[in-house]
Amino acid sequence: MSESGNSRIITSNQQGLHKELDNVVLKHLKHAFRKPYQVHTLSAFKECEKWVEQQGKAIILDSCCGVGESTYHLAKKHPEAIVLGLDKSADRLAKHGQSIADNYRLLQVNLNDFWRLAVDANWHLSHHYLLYPNPWPKANHLQRRWHGSAVFPAILALGGQLELRSNWFIYINEFARALQLAEQTCHVETFQSENSITPFERKYWASGQKSLRLTATLK
């Protein structure tokens, strides 16, 4: 898919909220996720933790950051904070085209581990951005979506101003329902801006697709 407007519309064999969404979310809210940490993410977190402590600033996560374009823009938007761009793909991160600023870093990590490590370290976020995460649109992939995964409680525990954007409206609506089940409130709206801050966002808008934005102040 190019950025000139050839982005495909997401298709799914699921219509509306997943029929097992409530059961899955409630199960994960009740039971701790105890999967062992991967060595590379544990090492990356320990090294990053030292830098975070040295900075002594508010912490912002740009999770699923891809090539880190959004991380760059968020760091410019929030000069009072440090921004960590997190992605599982070293290849995507290697394509980062911006100059690294003093207040952000890009890390190749497993988010299932990194978020839990951050909770264990008592991190409390200022903001947490999830911009166009992989929607996993097949119905049998519910638990690969962040709100359907066992790590969902860690997202809640990190707190802060959460912002999620997606061009698959079911994803946003499911996430909103998961927050409701966790006794959190959120706001959902159509989102458009003069400037896109991720390659996917640019592709979707060039193709005439709309984005939804969910925002929440996590307790």
Tokens of 106: 């890009």
CA distance 24 to 174: 12
Q: Is the pLDDT of residue 40 over 90?
A: yes
Helices 169-181 & 21-30, crossing angle to 10 degrees? 50
Task: Count the Cβ atoms, other than its own, within 10 Å of residue 164.
Answer: 26
Q: pLDDT tens-digit profile of 155-199?
A: 999 999 999 999 999 999 999 999 999 999 999 999 999 899 999
Whole-model pTM: value is 0.94
Q: Is the pLDDT of residue 25 over 90?
A: yes
Pairing type for strands 127-131 and 81-87 reads unpaired
Residues paired with residue 20 on neighbouring β-strands, in sequence order: none
Q: What local confidence, expressed as pLDDT, does residue 102 receive?
A: 85
Confidence of residue 6 (pLDDT cuts 50, 70, 90): low
Q: Report CA torsion sign: 172, 176, 182, 187.
A: positive
Burial of 32 (0-12, 13-18, 19+ CB in 10 A): exposed
Phi, psi of 41 (to 5 degrees): -75, -40
Q: Which domains does the chain have, with CATH numbers?
A: 21-218 (3.40.50.150)
Q: pLDDT tens-digit profile of 113-127?
A: 999 999 999 999 999
